[in-house]
Chain A
Amino acid sequence: MDSGDTAWLMTSAALVLFMTPGLAFFYAGMVRSKNVLGMLMQNIFAMGIISIIWATIGFSLAFGGDAPLLGNLDYAFMGDIASDEGMAFFAFQMMFAVITPALITGATADRLKFGSYAIFIAIWSIVVYSPVAHWVWDAGGWIFDMGAQDFAGGAAIHINAGIAALVIVAVIGQRRGHGTEPMPPHNLPFTVLGTGILWFGWFGFNAGSALAADGVAAQALVNTHLAAAAGMIGWLIVEQIKTGHPTVLGACSGAVAGLVAITPCAGFVGEMSPIWIGLIAGAGCYFALQMKELLRLDDSLDVIAVHLVGGLIGTVLLGFFGDSSISGADGLFYGGGGELLKDQVLAALGVMLFSGVVSYVIAVALDKTIGLRVDPDDELVGLDQSQHAESAYQA
């Protein structure tokens, strides 16, 4: 790594960090006003607690050593993280660790006790996030060694958080009034603002994952942008056909779906592939919205449809669109046969199984001891008042 690479990596760390407050506003705009601070708090708090955990032990468990299942403690307390690029990499990866559990807040909106949420994500980061990151990104990790590819976290971030969201909402149940009371978004301008910040920050998320300021990073940047654009168009087309209205929420959701799907593919595909991937994700995630009806889960802000399904779409499509002339292995459409595709599917299944089971165990254990869900009265009054003794809008 030269100084240009290090500079880009540090810049990317800042961009990725910015995505967490971006996500906070993306979600906050969609909840009811009595819960807006509760949502914002859960997201920004991740910036606090997960950073400390990452520095203490999380980074080491993710990137220490080369065992197949878990990192070692070589880097505990940030010991031995040598040289500029080591620290830049540590910082960059920290921002991924921060935002991943925050993704879950969309599914559990309006009904988690803050303390229980804090404990959940702290445990989850150590026993789910770090191991999965190790499998996918650290040489020696079984998914990495198998040959599956995940440029910036389709599996490690989106499938991981998405399946965790699914199992947690199965444990905590639906919002009080769900299905009978209308709960429309209270401030869609926030959601648009959040989408813009996420899109912007995603350039660091994906292009920064090249770990270099080079052609692959530039390709990843272009892919990221085009997938967001195509995701928006794909979603809007389906939405227009099915409901007769293109909506602001749809445009934002489609863009994010495209961004999620391109995440595993970002530096591994080229030509028009990001546009195809974005279109498929935009349309596919729209149809996936129906899943929560089928599963009878109140995934309040559609984390399953956008992150789990979007992540799966991108992870699997990489098996088709992978292009070694950009980097990595060739997919089915580029003469690589089915090898990469098989690896991608196995990686997705492995992450889903592990994260699904362990997240479920943590959720049940916490629910049975300290309780995950707020009291019914607190839920009616709203998280802002009940959890934080604050109100967002004084007027």
Chain B
Amino acid sequence: MKLVTAVIKPFKLDEVKDALKAAGVGGMTVGEVRGFGRQGGHTETYRGAEYQIDFVPKVVLEAVVDDAQADLVVDTIAKAAATGKIGDGKIWVTGVDRIVRIRTGEEGGDAV
């Protein structure tokens, strides 16, 4: 099994979720995070004082999928999350040693 992790622009979440469901991905976990890569930050102004805010709000999305599905899932996310503008994010794949469905105790592929 593989863990596919993607950091994407927050407003792209619904589109990515819909694309993944259409591709047969049964579940995912999302979180609100902050980050930066090449996008850099932005400036905010409060009472005339400028603040350089390095971190940009992002959404992290995680899905555990079968090995065979990993590449399709990566491509699906990449297409749905892209805007072409800097800050679109990144996707990476890592291995999962073990996975358990809490309700039933099923393991491995049955738990995905």
Contacts and interface: CB of A to CB of B under 8 A. Distances in A.
A286 interface: yes
A253 to B, nearest CB: 6
Contacts of B48: 239, 242-243, 286, 289-290
Interface string B18-57: 0000000000000000000000000011111011110000
Interface residues of A, number: 16
Contacts of B44: 184
Contact of B46 (A249, A286, A290): A249
Interface residues of B, dominant DSSP = strand
A179 B36 CA distance: 23
A68 interface: no
Contacts of B52: 182
Contacts of A322: none
A182 B44 CA distance: 10
A184 B47 contact: no
A95 B44 CA distance: 36
A13 to B, nearest CB: 32
Interface string A273-316: 00000000000001001100000000000100000000000000
B53 A249 contact: no
B45 A247 contact: yes
A185 B45 contact: no
Interface in B42-77: 44-48, 50-53
A260 to B, nearest CB: 15
A250 B50 CA distance: 13
B47 A182 contact: no
A242 B47 CA distance: 11
Top 8 A-B residue pairs of the complex, sorted by shortest distance between their CB atoms: A182-B51, A243-B45, A289-B48, A184-B51, A249-B46, A184-B46, A289-B47, A245-B45
